[in-house]
Amino acid sequence: MSSKKQLKTKIRAVGNIKQITRAMEMVAATKMRKTQEVALRARPYAKYALSLLRSLLLLEGGEELRAQSHFFKEVNRKNPCLVVVTSDRGLCGGFNSQVLRAALKFREEYPELSVVAIGKKGKEFFERRDIPVLKSFSDFSEVVTLADVAPVAEFLMTEYAQHRHDTIEFCSTQFVSALFQKVALHRVLPITEDELEKTIQGIIPKSGRYSDIQNVEEKQESVVSLLEPGAKNIFEELVEDLVRVEILHLIFESNASEHSARMFAMKNATDNAEDLEEDLQLLLNKARQGAITQELSEIASAKEALIS
């Protein structure tokens, strides 16, 4: 058993750690509320924007517009690009490890893919495994902004437009709630109706805030659209903007998930520190009681020796 001095030192150390983790938990909770609000407010806009693209394809002449655009083509993963969204810092539980496991599994299926890392943790992970990273982005704002995401979108759009990659895939975390986030793969380019519908449905929350936007959209889809000066003139520019919206939405979701994961990781660390502190205090009390018992025994033995 450790001495009383050692136990007191451990208790102080655990107490200091508990104060740090509690402070980090409070900071992460504040950031989580901000990023959660941004992600949730962006959902209706992202949903309506992608629905607008789907409606545009259903208009008369939509097939011709699709055939002329390089954004719409048959999916061919001969030279795919995988964008892996992680955090710059750790202490966020299994947030990064879950994303990186999914990315590594996807790479095993397509060994020729190129990796674009968003976040230092993803870049470090692939470099340790001697997996080349085509491009990395990091040091985003605590609450991600459009200015942070713009270079990512421009780089990916350029890579795809110059036919350096057949597909652009995202491996990121989707924010479901503060208690639950899930890793998902999303194909951003080329655009297909199935993937577009999948992304739209993934944006709509099953319950809670903004869960009613599905009903609103159904009413809007029945309205006949009139495009001026014409579909051909606005199609390419509109598609580019909507792809940027989708990329921005995916990174918003990941940002909110990161802060949620960090908040709960720090909460668990604080709870564990409290449990450990209680256990050490119990050991210290036992050590004190043992020392008192020993002293009483020595006094009693000394008294009997004097009497005899």
For residue 100, pLDDT beyond 80 = yes
- Tens of pLDDT, residue by residue over 193-204, are 666 666 666 665
Q: What is the DSSP letter of 77?
A: T
Mean pLDDT of 120-136: 90
**Beta strands in 57-192, from DSSP E residues, in sequence order:** 80-85, 114-118, 133-137, 167-175, 181-189
**Distance from C-alpha of 30 to C-alpha of 260, rounded to nearest angstrom:** 10
Contact 28, 266 (CB under 8 A): yes
Confidence of residue 286 (pLDDT cuts 50, 70, 90): confident
Mean pLDDT of 102-114: 87
For residue 216, pLDDT beyond 50 = no
Mean pLDDT (the chain, rounded): 77
Domain 43-262: assigned CATH number: 3.40.1380.10
Confidence of residue 218 (pLDDT cuts 50, 70, 90): very low
For residue 87, pLDDT beyond 80 = yes
The confidence score (pLDDT) of residue 83 equals: 92
Residue 35, CB half-sphere, CA atoms under 13 Å: how many?
33
Q: Which residues contact 260 (CB under 8 A, 6 or more apart)?
A: 32, 36, 175, 178, 179, 181
Dihedral sign, Cα of residue 21, residue 27, residue 29, residue 31: negative
Domains of the chain by residue range: 43-262
Q: Which residue has the higher pLDDT, 168 or 210?
A: 168
Contact 6, 279 (CB under 8 A): no
CA torsion angle 231 240 77 250 (round to 10): -130
The confidence score (pLDDT) of residue 256 equals: 83
How many C-beta neighbours within 10 Å does residue 123 have? 21
Lowest mean pLDDT across 57-61, 189-193, 257-261:
57-61
**Distance from C-alpha of 249 to C-alpha of 40, rounded to nearest angstrom:** 10
Lowest mean pLDDT across 42-51, 136-145, 217-226, 255-264:
217-226
Q: Hunting for tokens 């976040």 — which residue is that? A: 119
- Tens of pLDDT, residue by residue over 228-282, are 666 666 677 777 777 887 888 888 888 888 888 888 888 888 888 888 888 888 8
Q: What percent of the chain has pLDDT over 70?
A: 75
